[in-house]
Amino acid sequence: MFSLKSVHHQEAADPVLLSWIKDQIDAITGLSPIVIVGLIAVFILLVPTTIVILYLTVYRKNEQD
């Protein structure tokens, strides 16, 4: 009988899968890990900044009317 206990591991995520994902990202992009982290950080900061800018633009436009 199949048991989920037999496939469970103590790590937060599967280390083999994480290693494979890291290798694939490195192979596809050819960028260093610090550059990838920087790009992700810029994207994370860009999304809320864009939302706030769009909100303020619409708010000011409606305020003038």
Per-residue pLDDT of the chain (65 residues; tens, 9 = 90+): 556 666 666 778 888 998 999 899 889 999 888 998 999 999 999 999 999 999 999 999 888 86
- pTM of whole model > 0.75? no
C-alpha 1/C-alpha 55 separation (Å) is 56
C-alpha 36/C-alpha 13 separation (Å) is 20
C-alpha 52/C-alpha 35 separation (Å) is 26
